[in-house]
Structures are given as C-alpha cells and as structure tokens.
Structure 1
Amino acid sequence: MAKTATKAKKGSVTLKNSNGRLQLVFSYPILAPNGETVRKRFYLSTGFEDTPINRQRAGVIAATIQRDIDYAELDTTLERYKPASLAAGGVSPESMGLLALWQKYVDFKAPQVAPHTLLKDFCQVQRAIERLPSDSLGEAASIRDGLLGNMPVNSAKRVLTQIKACCKWAIAEKLISENPFAEMKITLPKGSGSPVIEPFTMEERDRILEAFRVHRYYSHYHPLVKFLFSTGCRPGEALALQWRHVQDEQILFEQRLSMTENGLQVIPGLKTQRRRTFPLNQELKAFLADLRESCQGNPEDYLFLAPGGGFLDSHNFCNRGWKTILSECGSGYRKLYQTRHSFITWLCEANVNTLAVSRWCGTSVAMIERHYAASNLNTIPPSL
C-alpha cells in the first residue's frame, strides 16, 4: 500500500505519492504582477517510484529545497533540484557539470548508505557545490578555491574528499575520462583536527547534577546527565538505550539515536563499531535499579525519554535545559559531549589503562594516549 503525505507546517516540503511516483510539494512567497507578495504552490516530480530507497533519495532533494526556503534562496525555476536523471537529459557525459555528476553519484550511493548520511553529509556536499561560481570540471582549481572561500578548512577538506570519490566513480562508469581532483589536497592547520577537550572537574559535575535534580523545570533530565557523566557514552548512544540492554553486570551498546530526513530514528550500530559492552560498578547498578523501579521500565522501553514521551531531542535539550543549568552553575557553556571527555579524563587521572578505557568508551588507544594519557589496567570502572 502506497504511503500518503502527512500534513506539514506552512512552507515546509511535503513528500507525496502521485500516481505511484514521488512528488515534492511546497509553497513559497513570490512577487505577483500587481506588486503584491503571494504564496505560490510548487510541485516537483522526481520521477522516482515510491520505494523506501527512493524516499531516501527524494528526502535529500527535499532537505536541499527546505534549506533554500529557510534562507529565502529558492530557485523558483526548480532546475537546481531536479534529479540528475531529469536535469542532465540530453547532456553528453564529458560536458556534464559537477552538480549533475554529484546527483548521479548520490543516486548510486543512496541504497548503500544510512539515511542520516544522505541527509547530513551528502546534502552538505550538494549545498557546497551549488554555492560555487562554476561547477565545470575544467575549472577544478577554482572549485577547490571556492570551497576554501565558502567554508572552514576542515569542512572544505571533507567536501573535496567526497568530490574526489564521486569523480573516481564517474570514471568507472565511463561518465568522464579523468579525475581533475585526484592530485588535489587541502592541508589542515596543525592541531585543527583535534577534538576540543574541555573536561568538567568532579566538583563541577556534582554542582551540575544537583542543579538538575532540584530544578523546577529540568529535573526530568537529571538521570540522563548522571548517566552520561558515569559512563562516558555518546549522547546518541544513551538516548537509544532500552532496558533490554541493561544486564546484570554490564550495559550493551548496539544502537544510536540519530536525526534522519524522517526525524529522530534509532540506527543499528555505533559510530566506530557495531557494538560494545560497558561493565557496571556497584554505584551504577544501584542508580539503574532505582531508575528502572521509578519508571517501571519494560525490556523494550527506552531509559531516557522526552518529558512528554517519545525520543528526547538532544539539540533542543542543549539549547534549553543544559545551557540554563550550566549558566546557573557558573561553569561556562560547554557542549554536552564534554561529559564524555570528562569521564575519559577522570579515568586517565585515576591511572586506568588505555586499553580498558578504549573498550569501555568505544575509542582507540591511540586517540586516548594522544589526548588524555593513562597507565595500568583495571577490570571495572571505579566509582567517580
């Protein structure tokens, strides 16, 4: 049975099934002949059959259109948003621009990558290409310079890497005869690739936790923040935890909550590995037992939910509760991810061996030794 479109907020892009094909529908203010501004309804036929994979592909286009609507930069001819199979019709491969080539590459990669990769990483590359003064493959140096002029160096380097991969694929597909970006490099400034590590002290942690515990509006988040400080897991890993993952002696991390074109969704696997276990000390066991009793958690229930139920959006939480509590504690704003950096730092200061830390936290020994350092081997995390 074909999916139907859901009602969207005014100005947002809606994905519809039209005679078995996917269509994008949205409205945008334009200037009428009489000089008045009116909201015109636009329809973009993708030509894609209504399948799960094609919905991912259409979602990438929808995200690009929504971004342009939000920034009042919509191409009202819609040429910019047409899939490569439509926009590049009648164009010889060698004369194809980088944007059309990239769209063909996305069509190829869509069934092979996670939805959030399409939405986040691939959309970033497309937006970067669209901002270039030229997308001619004959002006590769200008494209590289345009990337450097429009975004931070590390972002430009990532986009260039994706463009190289696109052109390498295009050669194999006989769409182009050479990769003009093959030998190009963007060198990052020394130290720019290093994570920003600004750990909290244990005294700051205690003040933050107490502030959450007693806060009139944000006490609901106290268990989540305590768990992050106590395990060093990534926020998305904590928000995807179900009670079936909490075992007698350990926690099993095997999925993460991530933003996709369909909203927040649980994605199998972790950032750097398929799964990992985290051993429980007595303090963490007691905390989880109390939490489970208070919420009467069933195996499939999630440990940490939004106040009204449903997935907790960490972005909204950081902009409201997290920012408010840090301000009230006088700690200075730091990203929620610093709870992870803090935990790893404290383990290192307690002389826990790097191999143990890497297993518990899902990062490499080299990363820990480069940014934290530790010595000796423990078999269970100490109570911190």
Structure 2
Amino acid sequence: MRISTKKKAPKGTVSVQVFKDRLRLCWSYCRKRYFLYIGLPDSNVNRIVAEQKAKQIAGDMATGNFDSSLKKYKIEYQQYSPTTIPKLFKRFTAEKAKEVSPKTVEKYRATLGYLDRYFGDAGAESINNLKAEDFARHLKEKSLSPNQCKRRLEELKACWNWAIAKNLISPENPWIEVAKRVKVPPKQKPKPFSKEEIGAIEQGFRTDRYYSYYADFVQFLFGTGCRTGEAIGLRWKHLSDNCSTVWIGESVSRRIRKSTKTNRARTISLTPRLQVMLLKRKPTNADPEDLVFRSAGGKVIDDQNFRNRAWIKVLTRIGIEYRKPYTTRHSLISHALDLGMNPVNVAQLTGHDVRTLYENYAGNVNSRSLLPEL
C-alpha cells in the first residue's frame, strides 16, 4: 500500500511515506521540513517499525524533547551478506539434513533444482511477493500437482523463516502468502485390506519360494499397525523377554536410524498370535542389539526393495489389488474402529493423536457417520 505525499498532514503529525520503494518519515517542526529514511522496503512488518519511530518523534515534538540532528531517531538494522537464492536454500537443506529423514532431504534437493534453473544467481534479498508468485506460476506450468507445488512453496517459506531467525536475510518472508493460496484438492483415503485379504497376503508370503522370509515381517506389520520403518528398526531389546510387549520408539529409513515420526515412544501389548511368532523367531541367545527382521542376505530391510520386489510380486501372484505396504497400518486402524475400539486407545497403540487418526485413517465403513433413513 502506497501513501500519497500530496495530502498535507496535520501539524505535529509524522507521516509514513514510500519513496523509491523504501519507507521514509516526513514531518515539519518549527517551520522546517524533515525527512528520515528508514532504509527498509515497504511491507506490513516494516511499516510497524516505521510507525513506532513516527510515534516517538511526534511524542518528542509534543514534549519539547525533539532532536533536530535526528541522530536519536536513526534506525540500526542488520546489514546482510549477499547470497543467491539457490545457495541460501542449499545451506538450509544442509542444516535440515541433521534432523529430517533422507526422503525429506531428497524432496529439498528436487526443490533446489527448480530454484537453480529458474533464479540462477539472483540474490535472496531480491525476492518479493511478486517474484514469489511468478515462481509459483512457473511450478504449475511444469505440470506439478497442487500438492507438489504447495510442498515446494512450504519448503521455501520454512527456508526463509530459518534464514530470518539466523539473521541471514531481512525480516520479510515473501513465501507465506503465496504458499497459502495454493489449494490442495482432497485425496481419497486408501482402501483398507479386508480380513480375507490380510489372511491371503500372509499365506501368500509364507508359501512363496522367493519371499517367504518376509512372512513374519508382514504379519507384524498387519498385527501391530506400526509404520514400516518402525518394524524395520525393531531390535530384540525392544521386546519383553516373553515377547508379550514391544517398545516402539525408533525407526529406520534408508538405513538411517532415528526417532519415530512423532518423536514419541509407545509400549503396546501384543496378541498371543504375534507373541508365539516372535518367540519362534527369537534365537536362543539373542543379541539385544540384533534386528528382529532382516533381508534374505541378513542386512537391514530396504523398504523400497521390499515393496518393488516382494510386496508387488506376491500381491500380483495371489490376485489382490495393489496398495502400498503402508496400508497395513491403515487396515489395522480401520478394523479396530470397526470392532468398536475407543479411538483414544487406537491412537495410543499406533502413535497418533486422535484428530489425525480420524482425518487420515478412519476410512472404514462402520466408523463413518450414517445418513438417516427417511
């Protein structure tokens, strides 16, 4: 919003103006005209800074404490080292890589590729709302889905927030509003596996000549509803001596061990069927640090390799419609709700908050609200 300089302000008023795309203050005192250049571009945040300074000057004029040299009113602001947009995002990615999953880092690198090609050596300080909107349009023109566009813009918003907190750039985030405007259409929830399909899949793995060594792993996924990475990272020390309970507080993805997705641990009681399976699987002198489930070569299970080779091939062979291995988790939650389990208890077992459970996983028939018969 630009303030017109033509309208004369009342006596004793300090006006906030825009001059050459920068904010300045203008006022008169003792028949002399004064200007104070703020040195910041016009934005909602910077206007608050300017208005606060304007109130200080107006107050000093009213009380006879005005400093005509203007030294008292000079605004000290950070001088930022120039950096390009791709370099800033690359630094942000390196920082986030310490705490996020390798999958997330891969998404950041994809965004970096778009920034490199579109902005080149453009400086981070050159980005304003208009240029942010142009980049959002560019992403849409590249046939990215609304979800992909929004994710990349949200990453840029997070990058700028991080850089502002580190005093690397000026305190304005041009990505906030443009990220808000991208609307992601609702996505149909995955269809849970039926009880018959679950039984067929488990049996399909047990009788498969190539992938039978994954049968216990698949049974554990269906039986606990845990995340795939949580089952991959399970160690014998996480199970009680008689395998009646399991502690889930770690996850493995791309061979990297970390905390669970929500950074919260949970201990759950296992069914007798799962307990028997685990006791049969447990070595006589099991090393507490050893993994419970391994690949055929005795290594850490690679979730992509498991899905692309074992999971897809077994489901195809037994004639069951493909759904991601993660649907084992959705299936347990859906059947638990169908059986009338308290959603709070289901959330505790699976490591969700109740709202997330309802929004993302309660796709089963019996847990939905039913229309009345009229």
Q: Which residue of 239, 246, 254 maps to 1:251?
A: 246
Distance 1:202 1:349 in 2: 12
Q: Aligned ranges for residues 216-231 of structure 1 at < 5 Å? A: 216-231=209-224
Return the offset for 1:176: 3.4
1:125–1:159: 8 Å Cα contact kept in structure 2? yes
Residues 327, 106 of structure 1: alpha-carbon distance in 2 compared, 3 angstrom cutoff = closer
2:101–2:253: 8 Å Cα contact kept in structure 1? no
Is 1:189–2:178 an aligned residue pair?
no
Is 1:279–2:269 an aligned residue pair?
yes
TM-score (norm 2): 0.67
Q: Secondary structure at the match of 1:178?
A: coil
2:157–2:173: 8 Å Cα contact kept in structure 1? yes
Aligned Cα root-mean-square deviation (Å): 2.6
Is 1:146–2:138 an aligned residue pair?
yes
Distance 2:191 2:206 in 1: 23
Return the offset for 1:296: 5.7
2:247–2:266: 8 Å Cα contact kept in structure 1? yes
1:229–1:343: 8 Å Cα contact kept in structure 2? yes
What corresponds to 1:266 in structure 2?
A: 257
Q: Which residue of 130, 133, 154 maps to 2:116?
A: 130
Return the offset for 1:170: 3.5
Return the offset for 1:216: 0.9
What corresponds to 1:308 in structure 2?
A: 297
Distance 2:347 2:184 in 1: 27
1:233–1:361: 8 Å Cα contact kept in structure 2? yes
Identity of aligned residues (%): 31
Larger radius of gyration between Structure 1 and Structure 2: 2
Q: Secondary structure at the match of 1:183?
A: helix
Return the offset for 1:273: 2.9
Q: Which runs of 5+ in 1 are unaligned?
A: 1-91, 376-384
Q: Aligned ranges for residues 1-384 of structure 1 at < 5 Å? A: 96-107=83-94, 109-110=95-96, 113-114=99-100, 116=102, 119-132=105-118, 137-138=127-128, 139-150=131-142, 151-172=144-165, 173-176=167-170, 178-184=172-178, 185-192=180-187, 196-247=189-240, 248=242, 249-259=244-254, 264-267=255-258, 269-293=259-283, 297-370=286-359, 371-372=361-362
Letter in 2 for 1:347: A
Q: Secondary structure at the match of 1:360?
A: helix
Q: Secondary structure at the match of 1:176?
A: coil
1:228–1:234: 8 Å Cα contact kept in structure 2? yes
What do the CA deviations read for 1:112-163 (whole angstroms, capped 9, x no partner)?
Answer: 5246377334323312323436666252211121223332211221221221
Q: Which runs of 5+ in 2 are unaligned?
A: 1-78, 368-374
1:246–1:252: 8 Å Cα contact kept in structure 2? yes
1:94–1:176: 8 Å Cα contact kept in structure 2? no
Distance 1:361 1:279 in 2: 12
Distance 1:191 1:175 in 2: 35
Q: Secondary structure at the match of 2:298?
A: coil
TM-score (norm 1): 0.65
1:297–1:303: 8 Å Cα contact kept in structure 2? no
Q: Which moved more, 1:223-232 or 1:183-192?
A: 183-192
Residues 241, 174 of structure 1: alpha-carbon distance in 2 compared, 3 angstrom cutoff = closer
What do the CA deviations read for 1:299-337 (whole angstroms, capped 9, x no partner)?
Answer: 111111011111011111111111111011111111000
